[in-house]
Structures are given as C-alpha cells and as structure tokens.
Chain A
Amino acid sequence: MHADSSSTEAINAYLAALQHALHGADAALVHDAIVDAETHLRSALAAGKSAAQAIADYGSAEEVAHAYVCDLCEAPGRPAPAGAHVATDAAASSATSSSQVSVEKRRALRSIPVVGVWFDPHAWGSVLFLLFGFFIGTAAFVWTVAVGSAAIGLLPTLLGIPLLILLLGSTRMISLFLGQVIETFVGIRMPRRMQSVDTTGTAGFWRRIWVWVTDVRSWLTVAFFIGNFPVAVFCFCVTVVLLALGGALTVGSVVTLFSGARFMGASDGSVVIFDHTYMPDATGMIHVPVFLLIGLALLGLAILTASLWLSKGVALLYGQVVKSIQVVRPQPLARG
C-alpha cells in the first residue's frame, strides 16, 4: 500500500514540526528521532491507518521531542533527580546509594584541573580510538580505493555500475560502524541508522539504490575514507610516539630511582642528560642525581597528561566530522 500525496504532506509536516521541537538538541539525536518517526508512520500507513490517526497515535511533536531529550535522564538505573525514587527494597536502596557515591567520586576526580583527565574514561577511550582508528581507516581506505578504482575502470563496460553501488552501500555501512566505534570509545552520540528507504517490491530495491547514488552522504563518506587515511596514520604515529616517550621517561625514571638511582650506560659508558655527561663508575654503573630522575618522571607524566588531552581533543574533532557527514541534509519522506 502506498501513501497518497496528502498523507505524505501530513507526515512531512509532522517531521518538520518534530525537527523544530528538537531545535538545539544533538544533531545525531534529531536525526534518529526523524528516522524513527518516519519509519513508524510509514509502517502505520502500510498497515492501513490514515496519516492523521497514525500521527495522533504517535504523539504530538512536543511530547515525542521531550521523550527523546529526556530519555537518558528518565532511564531506570541512571542517577535520577532527588526524590524521584521511592525506596521499595532496602538492598536495592543501598546498592543505588553506593553506586551514586561511586559516580560522584568519579565525577569529582574528573573535575580536578589538568590531571583530572587521567580519571576520564573517554580520554583513555580516545587514545584507544586513535590507535584502533588507524586500522579501521586503513581498511576503509584500501576497500574504497580498490573497489572505487575497479568501478571507475569498468564503467565503460557497465560492470562498473554494480561495483559502484557496492562501494556506496558498503561505505555507508562502514561509516555507521565507525560511528558506533566513536560513540563507544569517545562518548559522542552518533546516528544509529541512515535514513530509511521504502523497499516495498522491486521498485523499492531500485529506489534504495537511487537514494544511495543521490544521497550526498554517500559521496562525502567515500571522500572521507580517502582523505581520512593520511590523517589516521598521522594521529596513530603521534599517539604512539607521545605514549612511548611519556611512558619510557616515567617508568624508566621510577625504576632507576628505586634501583638506587643508577643504571647501566651505553657501550661507550657515558650518558648525556640535559647537556650534562654522566660517566660510569668502576663497576660500569652510572649514578644520576635523584632530583633529575624525579624531574624526568614528572616530565614523562606531563607528556602522558598532554597526550590524553590531545587525544581527547582530536578524537572529539574526528567524531564531529564523522557525525556531520552522517547527519548532513536529513532527508524527509520523499515519496509522492
């Protein structure tokens, strides 16, 4: 069953009202709310309901917008406003209060200036993302370039067309996967689905393909996977170098400190630290002043702290770019 033009207009108007009601909310959340509403209302029309009835059952744009904006603050198991819970069970109450204390502790640790980043799970997640992102970025680049090149090369024989469609469909899926990786590691909310496409019957299949080809996000995603490769390599290298440098300085200095502030020098016997040459003693061991070792350990910790901030900032920027590609030009119901 296909919607007539008046139903389509009514649903488009509702989606516009929902988008307006969600003005100022996170772009990915707005995207998901629109896709959910469109998919649901289309299912209702297909089930034989009128557009007016389907919209009335779905709820006013304001009600639905409120549900999306407040879904997390009202979710069971999450910290709720004071007085929101009635204690019905002593054990549950005790567990809730201890978990809230733990949440408060973690929040307090994270709010410590500068070094609070050490207690931010998303900062560590960002480091992991920049490391793993290199492998995802490389795989996506290889896939895009290989399939894209083959598609362009085979276009004159028409065999390139299915390859091109394969490329666009697959990159959209990889982009969604990358979005979920970013959300897990970095904590940025990302869209769960691309815009839904009606695939009823054979015409629906071709319509899906047509949407892939005409959707600006498909081409932006392909461009992103190509341009992302050098960026992912650079981020990976910088992250590894900073972590290795900071880790080596910290661990090396602390270990030396606890082993009597001395260590075995290089083959020529000497070691230079801050333009000062330290010579080995008769046993071949080099004695380093304690204050210097403490200074080197602090320098290592400073580099690690800076690495966490830098990783968090870069991963946030990275996530915003991927999200802006996924939510760009949300397409309302385009049938009629």
Chain B
Amino acid sequence: MTVLLTDKIQRDLASGTAWLVVLAAIERSEAPIHGYEIARQLSEESPEGLNFKQGTLYPMLRTMEAEGLISSTLVPSNEGPARKCFRLTPEGRRTLSTWISFWKGAERWVNRVISGTGLSGGSNAR
C-alpha cells in the first residue's frame, strides 16, 4: 500500500509540475527548442524519484500551442526528419509568470508544513 501511495505521489508531482517546467524550459532557451531537446534537458535535470516520462511531453506541447502559449516552426535537421521548434509567445510569458507565482506559493506552503516534521527527507521511502 505504501509503495502504491509513493508511486502515486511521484506521478502526481511529476504531472503537476510538468506544465510549468516545460514552459520554463522553452523560455530559458535562447533559440527555438525542439521537443527532443526539451525532453532530454528535463530528464537530465529531473530529481531522483521524480521520473519525467518523455512521451508525455508532446501532448502538452500540442495543447500549449493550441492555447497560444508557444509557437512553432519546422526546422530541417541533420539527424533525421524536420523538427518542430518551439518558442514562447507573449501570452506564454505572462502565463509562465503567473504559474511561477503559483508554484512559489505552493513551495512556501509545503515547506512550512514539512519543516515541522523534523525529517530531512534524505532517505528513499521505498
């Protein structure tokens, strides 16, 4: 049961933060960035136990594009087919700013609560 709950919190944390980090990864990139590169960066930087599944990235990118948060261009690639490269729109930048403020509020809230437990969180519950 504990393992199932741990799996659930890992999945929920990954999916709950994925939208924010994907948008942030696009924003911090100086040039338009393609899906594979976003996935590679996020996988490399994701903390242990919070496994970011690269396959969940693409439907997110489609939805963000449909919502006008990002725009895309097809760029020829030397490593295969032409790639869709993404950049943030002004609307996307405003939205990211709002999401970051939400995230900071949530972070403060969680830190305040867990700081009272006396646990450092260094060991893996599994």
Contact = CB atoms under 8 A, between A and B. Distances in A.
Interface of A: 32-33, 36-37, 39-40, 42-44, 46-47, 57-59, 63-64, 67-68, 71-72, 74-77, 86, 88-89, 92, 192-193, 196-200
Given A44-B36, A71-B62, A57 B54 contact: yes
A43 B53 contact: no
A34 to B, nearest CB: 11
19 contacts: A33-B58, A36-B58, A39-B80, A40-B36, A43-B79, A46-B80, A47-B40, A57-B43, A58-B53, A63-B56, A71-B60, A75-B19, A76-B95, A76-B99, A193-B84, A196-B82, A199-B77, A199-B81, A200-B80
The 7 closest A-B pairs by CB, nearest first: A59-B53, A71-B59, A64-B55, A67-B56, A59-B55, A196-B81, A36-B58
Nearest to A208: B81
B16 to A, nearest CB: 10
Interface string B3-35: 000000000000100010000000000000001
Given A40-B58, A76-B19, 8 more contacts: A36-B35, A36-B58, A40-B55, A43-B79, A46-B79, A74-B15, A88-B105, A193-B84
B90 to A, nearest CB: 16
Contact of B63 (A39, A72, A199): A72
Interface of chain B, main secondary structure: helix
B62 A192 contact: yes
A64 B53 contact: yes
B106 A199 contact: no
Contacts of A92: 98
Nearest to B103: A88
Interface string B38-79: 011001000000000111101110110001000000001111
Interface in B71-114: 76-84, 95, 98-99, 102, 105-106
A87 to B, nearest CB: 11
Contact of A77 (B67, B77, B78): B67
A62 to B, nearest CB: 10
A75 B63 contact: yes
Contact of A32 (B35, B43, B62): B62
Contacts of A67: 53, 55-56, 59-60
A42 B53 contact: no
A86 B110 CA distance: 13
B102 A58 contact: no
A43 B80 CA distance: 7
